[in-house]
Structure 1
Amino acid sequence: MSEVRRPPVVAALDIGGTKTAAAIVTRHGEVVDRITAPTPGRAGATAILDTAADLVGRLRARAAGTRVHAVGVGSAGVIDHRTGRVLSATDALAGWAGTDLRGRLCELLGLPVAVVNDVHAHALGETRHGVAVGHETTLFIAVGTGIGASFVIDGTVLAGAHSAAGHAGHQPSPYAVGLACTCGGREHLEAIASGPGLTEEYVRRTGQPVDDLRTVAARAADGDDLAIEVVLLGGTAVGSAVGGLVNMLDPAVVVIGGGVSGLGDAWWQALRDAVRRETLPSLVGVPVLASTLGSDAPLLGAAALAWEGTA
């Protein structure tokens, strides 16, 4: 009796500052298996790569009989879209800058590897399989520990001449007056509207230390006036910046994702109101939508790149 030949699949990796996720993905964007592990960010590039390769290896073992065609990677940091090398990264990933991410994973896994920044991967996931399917141009904004963006044109990410396009959090914001940014600059959007930025704003207003944004969100839900003001401020600051980007890029659709986007209806309403105040009259109809794929989005976007790179 002949062996049944299963359709090939690809492996996808989402390498973040705290967690690395891996998945097996079909050509149609179905996640058939997944696994995660903490990212050993302080242990250096070799440990990070070994963790990623181990996750893919475990998935391949569990998918015995199915050929893994290639690997797609969405990674934190600025990724050279031509070479797959990490150009720069935050301190959360020690020694990550300068890593030949594509080449090292090719060696470890013996498979073709496609690499992109993690926010770009998220945007690709939404345009290929999520809420932005069918749109010619998509502006994606991720609001979380940092604030990143991606502009996708006909299914292709605009990487920029230096592979650094998308640093939406590092544009000036009128809501961040006097605030230092993690990049070393001042008065940037990320300093006021990211998760840590909003948490610090609440502490400044109340003098009360809190663990993180979840505490602020819970207090806002309980009717804490200052917490509500901070939530609304965050939505307004992001919306103002998005409105300016809409005026510049004229996207068919805007998609917002990231952990901060889970702050609830008040944050979303403040954001959408601010977008409308900033956009030109001809652009007020551009839809502003919530990401629908959640943590699967970067995996699906990375998988799409893997399929394309080996087509």
Structure 2
Amino acid sequence: MTRPVGGSPVVGLDLGGTKIAAALFAADGTVSSRHTRPTPAGEGPSAVLDALAGAAAEVDPEGHATAIGVAAAGVVDPRSGTVTSATDSIRGWAGTALGAGLADRTGLPVACDNDVRATAGPELAALPDRRGSLLFAAVGTGVGGALAVDGRMLHGASGIAGHLGHLPSAEAAGLPCTCGATGHLEVIASGPGITAHYERLTGTPVDRLETVAARAAGGDAAAVRAVTTGAEAAGRVLGGLANALGPDRVVVGGGVPRIGPLYGDALARAFAAELMPPLRGLAPEPPRFGHDAAVTGAAALTTTLPLHHPGALR
């Protein structure tokens, strides 16, 4: 549960490529109103910022909020409030002045961060030790992540920290990545990566990951191989990162782990095989928080990150 700035209401916004979710958090941290709307992803950054402002106004029509937190798709630098890199899921999103642009539209200070880091925030806050460490992975259409060490979320230069999908993976050797490099984890472990691997193995097009998962459940050897290869690749990368970071908890969320135990078991085995002796017994776990995690984490950003104020662009 968030603790808004000064005990005042705040708005949390979760911006994805297809929809915007908004919630108004009261002074005690409870949600007092909600709203969702489509993301105008093909209309450019100004339209997206207008939609974010509209969603904030929808949940707070009387203007009680004192700040806005935004969890946004793309690589977000919370210090500058800028989207430093992005895919084409939102047209022209890279380079957008997210913090200042939204502050100008709403008249409120804005804190912003990458959506996966914001989603991981409640997981970090739930650790019993305020100086706990967390490794968080989100495996879906892409592979994102968040890293927190000794109670502090890592952001890194340009907000790049935590983008686990662009770590090298032996299973992805030679495969082109959306970032322009080759051999990155995302192209073998994401939903589209697993689907593409099945197509390479069989020469048969498939429409989506769930089709591959269903065929694997029915004993299709190529489908089993595609799913387990992606899972093992993710497990090995996460195990290596665990050795480097020493997390108290490892969380694996996103849509891909929900396809069933074939994926989860293969990931867990590969993860365990990488661990150094002091970490043996550490195992990946599902997220503790549900669909509210992103907006809750977004609202909490207003207490932990720099606030971008109206007028900064003028």
TM-score in terms of structure 2 length: 0.89
- Structure 1 position 102, deviation (Å): 0.7
Contact kept? 1:89, 1:97, Cα under 8 Å: yes
CA distance in 2, matches of 1:90, 1:39: 15
Contact kept? 2:76, 2:158, Cα under 8 Å: no
Once the two structures are overlaid, the 10-residue window that deviates more, 170-179 or 283-292, is 283-292
- Structure 1 position 220, deviation (Å): 2.4
Matched, 1:91 2:109: no
- Structure 1 position 221, deviation (Å): 2.9
Aligned match of 1:267: 263
CA distance in 1, matches of 2:27, 2:251: 23
Distance 1:285 1:90, change over 3 A: same
Q: What amino acid maps onto 1:24 in structure 2? A: L
Aligned match of 1:55: 55
- Structure 1 position 33, deviation (Å): 2.7
Q: In structure 2, the residue corresponding to 1:22 is in which secondary structure?
A: strand
CA distance in 2, matches of 1:310, 1:76: 18
CA distance in 2, matches of 1:34, 1:154: 33
Distance 1:133 1:28, change over 3 A: farther
CA shift digits 1:119-177 (9 cap, x unpaired): 11011132235xx4646111111111111121123543100133211121111111112
Aligned match of 2:72: 75
Contact kept? 2:122, 2:296, Cα under 8 Å: yes
Contact kept? 2:99, 2:112, Cα under 8 Å: yes
CA distance in 1, matches of 2:134, 2:12: 22
CA distance in 1, matches of 2:27, 2:125: 11
CA distance in 2, matches of 1:234, 1:98: 32
Q: What amino acid maps onto 1:20 in structure 2? A: I
Aligned match of 2:4: none
- Structure 1 position 266, deviation (Å): 1.7
Q: What amino acid maps onto 1:42 in structure 2? A: G
Number of residue pairs the alignment of both structures matches: 300
- Structure 1 position 309, deviation (Å): 5.5
Aligned match of 2:165: 169
- Structure 1 position 36, deviation (Å): 1.6
Q: What amino acid maps onto 1:97 in structure 2? A: A
Question: Gaps (5+ residues) in structure 2?
Answer: 1-6, 308-314
Question: Gaps (5+ residues) in structure 1?
Answer: 1-6
Matched, 1:193 2:189: yes
**Aligned residues: percent identity?**
47
Q: In structure 2, the residue corresponding to 1:69 is in which secondary structure?
A: coil
CA distance in 1, matches of 2:274, 2:54: 47
The 5 Å alignment of 1:90-239 reads 90-128=87-125, 132=127, 134=129, 136-239=132-235
Aligned match of 1:246: 242
CA distance in 2, matches of 1:176, 1:153: 28
- Structure 1 position 308, deviation (Å): 4.2
Contact kept? 1:70, 1:307, Cα under 8 Å: no
Aligned match of 2:3: none
Q: In structure 2, the residue corresponding to 1:211 is in which secondary structure?
A: coil
Distance 1:219 1:32, change over 3 A: farther
Q: In structure 2, the residue corresponding to 1:122 is in which secondary structure?
A: helix
Instruction: Provide the aligned C-alpha RMSD in A.
Output: 2.0
Q: In structure 2, the residue corresponding to 1:11 is in which secondary structure?
A: strand
- Structure 1 position 301, deviation (Å): 1.0
Distance 1:226 1:33, change over 3 A: farther
